[in-house]
Structure 1
Amino acid sequence: MSASLPSSAHPPRPLLHNSDFRLFGLARFLTGLAYQMQAVAVGWFVYDLTRSALALGLVGLASFAPAILGALVTGHVADTYDRRRIAALAYALIASSAAGLLALALSRHPPVWPVYALMVLTGGARAFANPATQALMPTLVPREQFGAAIAWNSSIWQSASVSGPALGGLLYALGPSVVFGLSAACFAVAAVAVGGIRPRPAAAGRGPVSWATLLAGLTYIRSQPVVLGAITLDLVAVLLGGATALLPIYAQEVLRVGPLGLGLLRSMPAAGGVAMAVVLAHRPLARRAGQRLLLAVAVFGVATVGFGLSTSLPLSMACLFVTGAADMVSVYVRQSLVQGETPDAMRGRVAAVNTVFIGASNELGEFESGTLAALVGAVPAVVAGGVATVLVAGLWGRLFPALRRRDRLLT
């Protein structure tokens, strides 16, 4: 392994006895909870204001645009400055954005454009927070605990993602202002928590900035066909097969289950992710990791088709549960490769590129889904995306034979 992970000559303490990892986990849980609650509330709020599928897609575009525009800068910042402070400041800005949404929700007849502006602010802050936290996590634990830390980190995030949508849908019945206010509080506490982690020196010195240093993360990924294949597979599969942006339409017009039902639907992918994370924590992908990744993406596509065709709430929830479990395999493989094999001095820049791919597969995927649904309808858009995802899994197996043949995650 080429990464520079902390190591110890003595048996490491259990992860939860590590105070820095506990603070990191608290921040991850609170931000995951707040992101998911806010996503439910913003989606329903915008749909209430506009009744437009395209308007829902624009929320994803507004969140994603800052990440792709600032990817080169945010990664360099994460490798040059204190990652704790970057994340703390970013979470504080997101708390301010949530407070702005609270003010909008309390006003009479608000226009929709300030929501997009606040989503741009949130997306810009996340563009700095994501590479900083991704690069920070491997420095918190000894090398021998790295695999367990990834599983714990994923479980924490997915647990928040399970409870967040359901809680957001439940609280939305009391009004969107309740959800936005609680989200702002969660982000503020997360800023304090991550700021309390013990300082760690910047991985790279503050040397001269050049195109070579800014592009180092992209250059590294391009030189690693297995990493490139895993990241782009996740990008294309979720970009085509993601149905998250259309859940308000399904909840309102197809399943007719209201805000609480929307929260339950949004919780299901995360519930599947948590279940799979528990399985992976106890039975890691020791062999045939590449083949299992490709199979998981194909399963994701099939489950997406099932959700698109379903008119039953239990069946729709089950299909979304399967998509979350399959996606967790992709997350586990990708994060193991990106965080475990990247040198620490480059982790921020590589993580920034990875963040763009994740954002493209989520926020930009929401824009694609909303736009396609506006043209052909929600059900055809979801079904077509699921079929395309299955085809992509087969195609990537041929385009990236090194990924298909990859046996063990970490070498």
Structure 2
Amino acid sequence: MEDAIRGIAQGAAPVPLSVLDLVTVGAGSTAAASLRTSVEISRLAERRGYHRHWVAEHHSMPGVASSAPAVILAHLAAHTSRIRLGSGGVMLPNHAPLVVAEQFGTLEALAPGRVDLGLGRAPGTDGATARALRGPGHFDEQAEEFPRALADLTRFLDDDFPSGHPYARVHAVPGPVQGPAGRPPIWLLGSSGYSARLAAELGLPFAFAHHFSAANTLPALDLYRSSFRPSAVLDEPYALIGVSALAADTGGEAVRQVRAAALSMLRLRTGRPGLVPTPEEAESYPYSAAEREFVTDWTRNVVHGTADEVRAGLDALVARTGADELMLTSNAHAGEARRRSYELVADAYGMPDGAAVAAGAAPVREA
């Protein structure tokens, strides 16, 4: 399973590069168009040698269309043949462990050896939506509940509840009860020390959300590495960090796109979520002093600019954090800006274009 976790850097990239997809929806566009863009990005990422394409679970956010990662991943699996696909992540408190085991057992059957199961402890939304998702009596993200749910999920995936356990005769299908089968590697995701410590204790790979918790990145990675216990999964720690990165043909265009994404985040944080605004709307928005400070701070945490500027920023981040892998999320108003960013980053690192190999892949079907 360790081979499924560790990747090989392509071209001149210092570590493997991957994609984190929020399936952002811009003003004037639709979820259907954004999902088509995600297919295009997944095929581009596979062609250019990105290691993974993960989809993040979010709810009740008009500017995001990734509320059902397992459904999206099944669609991406039908349009790709080699790139690893996974959740970045599934928010486990929102789901019964058996349901997650069955969804990802199905994905593993559809795309054998290509599926990752990244798990988070946060709801991926606001409190009211979380309650609506979970329904009465469902567990929450209290510290003692998440490890229990994770243990149940792992046992469902391995079909190894001990005799006498209430779930000993319950089987996740597709799964081992049907015969020899692979199973997705489990990753823990987080933005603080909690998941870092738990991943270390269990010997699991760890993905840190640097893109929205940059101040906690180094402490969390230090905690993970210093507490790591070797396991059947990993001999030594493996840390991936999620990074907001946007490359454009000019530095000015990158700034315009990033500021539009920053305005979208500002509205979300102040209880006014909506579709991702256009760069023109962001330029004309009447920011208060506090809002302008928020946008400035948010933009500072996005690696953006020309392809060479983004490459330099990513190289510096690897040097500073020692990350084993970078997962880039390129959020912008237009799908073409998202797609172009991943292409430019691949160009900057000299990642080979495998178009000839991918020529036989299934065509994108219009929604």
Structure of greater relative contact order (alpha carbons < 8 Å, 6+ residues apart): 1
Task: Name whichever structure is richer in helix by fraction.
Answer: 1
Common fold: TM-score over 0.5 = no
Q: What is the TM-score with the length of structure 1 in the denominator?
A: 0.25
Q: What is the TM-score with the length of structure 2 in the denominator?
A: 0.27
Task: Name whichever structure is richer in strand by fraction.
Answer: 2
